[in-house]
């Protein structure tokens, strides 16, 4: 079985903004997925978060371009199910995390994957899922 990873918006934004050393690790995982050595997933909610954040800072046309680029990567986009909605809601109910972040955690839990993030609120949830913490300088 191939190692499975889930990216949250933090990981994708670190890559897009070239924030090291996080960007290099995310790029390495993507290259590994391109070679078929690993599998990477991203919840559609977190992709939406990347889209709106890029749009707010750089404009809608840049957000659309970024979305197209991400969709070309070796990342499986995970749709939201009713079960995931309530799993995310329960996580939000018990932890000080954003609702969008709760979907990243719920996706990792559903897939039995490691969540790749640098978000300090998520890094603390190691009792719920496996987490690979990223850092940026």
| Range list of β-strands (E), 39-136 | 39-43, 76-78, 114-117, 130-133
Q: What is the pLDDT of residue 47?
A: 98
Per residue in 35-52, pLDDT (tens digit) is 999 999 999 999 999 999
Count of domains for the chain: 1
Using an 8 Å Cβ cutoff, are 136 and 29 in contact? no
DSSP designation for 112: T
**CATH number of the domain to which 71 belongs:** 3.40.50.1010
Domain of residue 77 covers 4-133
Look at residues 2, 4, 35, 31 and name the one whose alpha carbon lies nearest to residue 114.
4
pTM of the entire predicted model: 0.94
pLDDT cut 70: percent of the chain above it: 100
Q: What is the pLDDT of residue 63?
A: 98
Angle made by CA atoms 63, 69, 74, in degrees to the nearest 5: 135
Is the predicted pLDDT of residue 128 greater than 90, yes or no? no
Q: What is the pLDDT of residue 113?
A: 97
């Amino acid at each position: 079985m191939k190692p499975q990873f889930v990216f949250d918006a933090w990981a994708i934004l670190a890559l897009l903004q070239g924030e090291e050393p996080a960007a290099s690790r995310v790029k390495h995982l993507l290259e590994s997925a391109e070679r078929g050595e690993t599998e990477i997933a991203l919840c559609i909610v977190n992709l939406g978060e990347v889209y709106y954040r890029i749009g707010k800072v750089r404009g809608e046309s840049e957000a659309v371009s970024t979305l197209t680029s991400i969709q070309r990567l070796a990342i499986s986009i995970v749709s939201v199910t009713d079960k995931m909605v309530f799993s995310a809601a329960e996580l939000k109910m018990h932890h000080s995390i954003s609702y969008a972040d709760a979907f990243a955690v719920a996706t990792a839990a559903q897939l039995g994957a490691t969540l790749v993030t640098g978000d300090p609120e998520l890094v603390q949830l190691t009792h719920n899922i496996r987490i690979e913490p990223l850092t940026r300088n």
